[in-house]
Structure 1
Amino acid sequence: MNELARAKTPWHLWVVGIMSLLWNGFGANDYTQTQLSNLDYMRTMMDGMGVTPEAALAYFQSFPAWVDAFWAFGVWGSLAGSVLLLLRSRWAIIAFGSSLIGLAGTTIYQAISETPAWASSGMAEIMSIVIWAIVTFLLIYAISMRQKGVLR
């Protein structure tokens, strides 16, 4: 396709873009509330998991700086990718790619560190798989939209 020609925006780009923005907005809020040490938020998130909000917050605050950096890349890369996808920007690919790198860093940390039982429960593992699947899908989707001339 000619680089100057613009492909019509498919309806599914708006659906994927808006759904990913909502999903990644939740992740950005989670990261922000954790970094701000919001105990009320932790109380809500840990409800029914058998862990106090203070213990959960202490766990997240014990992350080394490099893990926090990877977590930030993962969260903010995905959020930026969603916005860039909606703007039909080819930079969405780079943003989602950086998000995958961030996710890989946090996943490696979880694999090599001593993780509390509540943070490595079956539900936490399922969420990890879901997050990997979504970010991978978004990267592949953005690449596909670029190849079709939808992203500029």
Structure 2
Amino acid sequence: MTMSMSAEAKTPWHLWVVGVLALLWNGYGGYDFVMTFMKGEAYFRAHGMSDAQIAYFQSMPNWLIGPWALGVWSSVAGSILLLLRMRWAFHAFVVSLLGLTTTLVYTYLLSDGGKIGGVDGTIMYAVIAAVIVLLAWYSHAMAKRGVLR
């Protein structure tokens, strides 16, 4: 056994569970992002969005697409990095949180998005934020334990 192998922490079973669930959750976020731009109104209507909600998404400023994409795809990358046992997963989740924060500032402070999305939209944003924070915390904890390289 080499020194690097003996010093490497054993991968806990929960890393695989968290990693796969994170990839499924964030993968759906990626799917949603792509479908928003590919299918547009038909996709929104299939998800039961109101006319006001559809108009909100269709009138979203172009500058917001960047932070939104950063939030979504950084979470997908973080999930993959977690499964690859790479410490960069933490950084990817932090970048995702920054993208989400920018989106939230626009939604709740610079537009009527919070009002238009209603309670359901607010709950969804809260769940998304909580998941990202928990994944950042988890990946940081696994890196400190030596599980992530």
The normalised TM-score by structure 1 is: 0.87
Partner of residue 109, structure 1: 106
Residue correspondences, number: 144
Correspondences of 1:11-90 after superposition (within 5 Å)? 11-45=13-47, 47=48, 49=49, 51-52=50-51, 56-90=53-87
Aligned counterparts of 2:141 and 2:63: Cα–Cα separation in 1: 32
- Contact 1:6–1:150 (CA under 8 A) maintained in structure 2: yes
Structure 1 residues without counterparts, runs of 5 or longer: none
After alignment, is 21-30 or 110-119 more displaced?
A: 110-119
Task: Please tell me whether residue 92 in structure 1 is matched to residue 94 in structure 2.
Answer: no
**Higher helix proportion (structure 1 or 2):** 2
Residue 133 of structure 1 corresponds to 130
Matched-pair contact (CA < 8 Å) for 1:34–1:57:
no
C-alpha contact (below 8 Å) 1:37/1:57 kept by paired residues: no
- List structure 1 runs of 4+ shifted beyond 6 angstroms: none
After superposition, what is the alpha-carbon deviation per residue over 1:37-64, rounded to whole angstroms, capped at 9, x for unaligned?
Answer: 433322221x2x5x14xx5444223222
Query: RMSD over aligned Cα, in angstroms?
Result: 1.8
Normalising by structure 2, we get a TM-score of: 0.88
| Residues 112-123 of structure 1 aligned to structure 2 (within 5 Å) | 112=109, 113-115=111-113, 117-119=115-117, 121-123=118-120
Structure 2, unaligned runs of 5 or more = none
User: Does residue 6 in structure 1 map to residue 4 in structure 2?
Assistant: no
CA distance in 2, matches of 1:131, 1:149: 27
Percent identity among equivalent residues? 48
